């Protein structure tokens, strides 16, 4: 079985995606992130398709995460795949939606945040 979706979008939406995401400079690492937006791109099952071995949460998909610092116009693209985001004390989610490129977008309220990346991503208010 395959999951996901294929939704046609208008040319103006494609232009919006390209202009918005293209305005950020990619960086190799991050320390403190200002006013972060996280895009989660689903990539594969947490169960190995051949062996059935579980490598993450049973109810999750592994996702690639792109973290946008909206103050500095920087983006960090995680090196691994992640199956969850944990929000530590003080982290405030402003909204969650499906972005026009199909990613799940998580917008945190204004402020300074730190993140650690493992199987899950941990977000802490600084």
State how far the Cα of 21 lies from the Cα of 36, in Å rounded to an integer.
Answer: 14
pLDDT in tens, 61-119: 999 999 999 999 999 999 999 999 999 989 999 999 999 999 999 999 989 999 999 99
State how far the Cα of 20 lies from the Cα of 22, in Å rounded to an integer.
Answer: 5
44-58 mean pLDDT: 92
State how far the Cα of 69 lies from the Cα of 86, in Å rounded to an integer.
Answer: 18
Are the beta carbons of 107 and 39 closer than 8 angstroms?
A: no
Q: Which helix (H) or strand (E) holds 64?
A: strand 61-69
């Amino acid at each position: 079985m395959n999951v996901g979706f294929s939704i046609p979008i208008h040319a103006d939406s494609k232009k919006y995606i390209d202009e918005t995401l293209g305005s950020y400079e990619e960086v190799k690492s991050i320390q403190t992130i200002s006013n972060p937006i996280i895009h989660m791109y689903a990539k594969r099952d947490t169960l190995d398709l051949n062996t059935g071995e579980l490598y993450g949460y049973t109810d999750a998909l592994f996702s690639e995460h792109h973290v946008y610092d909206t103050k500095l116009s920087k983006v960090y693209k995680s090196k691994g795949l992640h199956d969850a985001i944990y929000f530590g004390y003080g982290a405030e989610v402003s909204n969650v939606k499906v972005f026009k490129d199909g990613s799940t977008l998580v917008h945190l309220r204004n402020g300074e945040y730190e993140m650690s990346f493992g199987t899950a991503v941990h977000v802490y208010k600084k």
